[in-house]
């Protein structure tokens, strides 16, 4: 079986699960809703209104992580992986098709989420939206789509390594919601290279760290590539 049929098969698996469709919707809804709440808070000085408009990505990424985790974890239940590999014996090809089937819908939803969040954020910010231009807003919208896609793939790779969705979520969700902030406050510039903090630089109009919007996303992409490479290696080396 070639790559295109393998990708089609993996897409059918994902698209026929209602929970996966709901998770994709949660990326958009969580991001927009929490961003709207952040921009509605007009008290105090906000040094970066653009990031305020995209603050909901911190919550939307949890849905992206859940999407990538669930798509891979399903293969380790009830012998599903054995069936998948019987159809696609080349494990590297199968894993590439699985990763692509995860990335494409998340990227599409992520870009739509970014554009909608930008539009809603501009309207909610009012005069404060004048502090950033159209180019910055579009960059943040595209960065939003790329960032949530990378986080979904990072989760997919880690799930392939651990072979457990519960273990992956148990590591990533506390890390994204708690550990990253604690480490960031304690270790200074070292935390700039954590996958979430690096990628979210693209959502800022100004930044003080060593990474810019695109170099930050590149760092997140390196984390994701490492996770996927480890997942592919694990898939090839261990019995189904």
With beta carbons less than 8 A apart as the criterion, state whether 195 and 220 touch: yes
Instruction: Render pLDDT for 189-202 as a digit per residue (tens, 0 to 9).
Output: 777 888 999 999 99
Instruction: Render pLDDT for 73-130 as a digit per residue (tens, 0 to 9).
Output: 999 887 888 888 888 888 999 999 999 999 999 999 999 999 999 998 888 877 776 7
CA distance 192 to 36: 26
pLDDT on residue 78: 79
Instruction: Render pLDDT for 35-69 as a digit per residue (tens, 0 to 9).
Output: 888 887 655 445 688 888 899 999 999 999 999 99
pLDDT on residue 44: 46
Tokens of 53: 């408009």
pLDDT on residue 50: 87
187 vs 139: which has the higher pLDDT: 139
91-100, 150-159, 204-213: which has the minimum mean pLDDT? 204-213
Alpha helices in the chain (DSSP H): 3-15, 18-40, 49-53, 57-73, 80-87, 91-125, 134-162, 165-174, 180-187, 195-199, 213-237
CA distance 85 to 87: 5
For the chain, give the number of residues: 240
Average pLDDT score over residue span 205-230: 92
pTM (predicted TM-score): 0.92
- What residues does each domain of the chain span? 3-231
Q: How far is CA 57 from the centre of its chain?
A: 9
CA distance 121 to 40: 9
50, 57, 61, 41: which is closest to 121 by C-alpha?
50
pLDDT on residue 110: 97
Q: What is the DSSP letter of 175?
A: I
Tokens of 145: 């789509």
């Amino acid at each position: 079986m070639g790559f295109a049929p393998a990708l089609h098969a993996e897409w059918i698996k994902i698209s026929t699960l209602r929970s996966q469709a709901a998770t994709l919707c949660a990326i958009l809804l969580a991001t927009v809703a929490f961003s709207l709440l952040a921009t509605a808070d007009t008290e105090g000085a906000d040094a970066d209104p653009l990031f305020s408009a995209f603050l909901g990505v911190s919550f939307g990424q949890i849905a992206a992580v859940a999407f990538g985790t669930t798509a891979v974890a399903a293969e380790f239940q009830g012998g599903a992986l054995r069936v998948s590999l019987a159809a696609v014996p080349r494990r590297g090809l199968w894993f590439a098709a699985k990763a692509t089937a995860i990335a494409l819908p998340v990227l599409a939803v992520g870009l739509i989420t970014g554009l909608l969040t930008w539009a809603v954020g501009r309207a909610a910010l009012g005069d404060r939206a004048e502090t950033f231009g159209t180019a910055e807003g579009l960059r943040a919208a595209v960065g939003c789509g790329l960032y949530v896609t990378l986080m979904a793939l990072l989760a997919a790779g880690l799930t392939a390594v651990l072979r457990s969705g519960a273990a992956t979520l148990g590591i990533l969700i506390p890390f994204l919601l708690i550990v990253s902030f604690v480490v960031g406050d304690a270790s200074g510039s070292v935390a700039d290279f954590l996958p979430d903090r690096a990628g979210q630089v693209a959502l800022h109009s100004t930044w003080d760290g060593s990474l810019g919007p695109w170099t930050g996303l590149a760092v997140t992409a390196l984390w994701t590539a490492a996770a996927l490479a480890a997942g592919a290696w694990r898939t090839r080396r261990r019995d189904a």
